[in-house]
Homo-oligomer: A and B are copies of this chain.
């Protein structure tokens, strides 16, 4: 079975309170030099059958309508190799 990964991240202009909280904590833990942190979601989909263009198009649609909230999020779809 093939695996397709959909990464969903908040749009750059949207506040990411989680990422900010993580970034602010890093220096306290002794990790310097990280200028910014954004936290998003990663979906791993196990696809039955071939992952051809048609399948990817469907997954793209799925990401657009369901996995991501395109009012505030962007997403990318890729085959995991």
Which residues of A pack against B, CB within 8 Å?
1, 7-9, 19, 22, 25-26, 29, 31, 33-49, 55, 58-59, 61-62, 65-67
CB–CB B45/A34 < 8 A: yes
The contact of A31 among B1, B31, B58, by CB within 8 Å, is B58
A-B contact pairs, 18 of them (CB 8 A): A1-B35, A8-B42, A9-B42, A19-B44, A25-B66, A26-B62, A26-B66, A29-B62, A29-B65, A31-B58, A31-B59, A33-B48, A34-B46, A35-B48, A37-B45, A38-B44, A40-B43, A42-B42
Cα A42 to Cα B66 with chains together (Å): 18
Cα A41 to Cα B34 with chains together (Å): 18
